[in-house]
Structure 1
């Protein structure tokens, strides 16, 4: 009965179901990056699908880095490519339809939430401060708004990355959505000043001040949007 139901699914839906079963298999078997999966034929038999359907599912997981096809070894568990996940999510319709309030609140929760981790790591690794300072200096010298928006996005992406909380990088794609929609409102000089407060506060261990500035920095956009509505 289960196989019959699978065979009646449309190809895109079947691919999603099989991909879901593959992910469940990886979790249930406690597989780690580099661990081998059964052969394509064995997996197709296990899931009751054709090898073509299985291959379509594995390709979608390879795209995200969940699986890798290695010559002579077959399918192995991969390292998730967070950049690829981010790139994919950035164009998902659900993100494009988020309201300004949701986007802004999500940014505040995300960026304020990583600050204690950034401060802790920065205390032991001064290069984190130097990287953020360098991006902010590039922003100060930006030649036009387009370059400024890209550098502002890069600063906030790097702020999240500096926390060392790699899974959060996927959510950083909200920044791409945010700046595509609201970048035209960027005040470069104000952004540079705000960034300076954030990174100087983090370097001195004053997470509370960095938190206050992040909230002021991001919620500034909501004030503009409300004024223009």
Structure 2
């Protein structure tokens, strides 16, 4: 008899990979008696030891940092927190940042292409307004992120499909505490400027109804963000 697929509720209860990896890191801390204030192995070595990808490891470390178990020190490494109690405290369940980026790459690349095909002058103007809002709020992270969201939603609206607007809204809502902690570690003035250049390139392709160019520009943007968050 053919095995029936698991119902949606059962799938939703499966543990996220980053939670599984974070539990394994906690076990390693206990087994190797790594004390508060001591440094964990380098990310590359830790990923090899645990048999996981660097991106899964990074999501797990960010989850443990939010839970107060470890402290991520830029340019230095990851340390067991001085106040660590190895509790079960965790951020709210949800997809990891790299899951969200992968989903966005699958969907938003084609949304941008459709926007280039269907965008009206008014829709292009709405995308431009969002880009200008980002430029004007470079030093205000909250306003900058709001303008970034408006940019991607404006592209979805320009595509002329209301269902796609809902999909983009949903994906944006998945940028939870893990995402924000990750951006806290990697957000720099250089990254903000590169994001603006990316957005300008996407806007230019959509405004000129360059379908292939819009697809390529959005893919390049999301690939760059993924590489930035993966570097180490």
TM-score, with structure 2 as normaliser: 0.51
- Return the match for 2:149 from 136, 146, 153: 153
- Determine whether 1:134 maps to 2:129: yes
User: Number of matched residues?
Assistant: 133
CA distance in 2, matches of 1:227, 1:165: 35
Q: Which residue of 2 aligns with 1:197?
A: 201
Q: Which runs of 5+ in 2 are unaligned?
A: 1-91
- Note the alpha carbon deviations across 1:112-151, whole angstroms, 9 max, x for none: 11123212222xx211111111110111010422211111
Contact 2:198-2:217 within 8 A present in 1 as well: yes
Deviations 1:179-214 (A, max 9, x none): 761453453222221111111111212222221221
How large is the RMSD of aligned CA atoms in angstroms?
2.4
Would the alpha carbon gap of residues 167 and 96 (structure 1) be closer, same or farther in structure 2, given more than 3 Å must change?
farther
Q: 2:224 aligns with which of 217, 220, 225?
A: 220
- Kept in 2, the 8 Å contact 1:194–1:213? The answer is yes
**Which structure carries more helix by proportion?**
1
After the TM superposition, which residues 26-41 of structure 1 pair with which residues of structure 2 at under 5 Å, given as runs? none
Q: For 1:168-183, list aligned pairs within 5 A.
A: 168-172=164-168, 173-178=170-175, 181-182=179-180, 183=183
Corresponding residue number in structure 2 for 1:3? none
Name whichever of 109-118 and 151-160 sits farther off: 109-118
RCO comparison, higher one (Cα < 8 Å, 6+): 2
* Conserved? CA contact 1:119–1:203, under 8 Å: yes
User: d(CA) in 1 for partners of 2:200 and 2:225?
Assistant: 18
Provide the rounded CA distance (Å) in 2 between the counterparts of 1:158 and 1:151. 10
How far apart are the structure 1 equivalents of 2:100 and 2:93? 10
Tell me the residue number matched to 2:210: 206
Residue 117 of structure 2 is aligned with which of 116, 120, 132? Answer: 120
Q: Does 1:99 align with 2:103?
A: no
Greater displacement, 177-186 / 191-200: 177-186
User: Is the Cα–Cα contact under 8 Å of residues 153 and 179 in structure 1 kept in the other structure?
Assistant: no
Structure 1 stretches of 4+ with a deviation exceeding 6 A read none
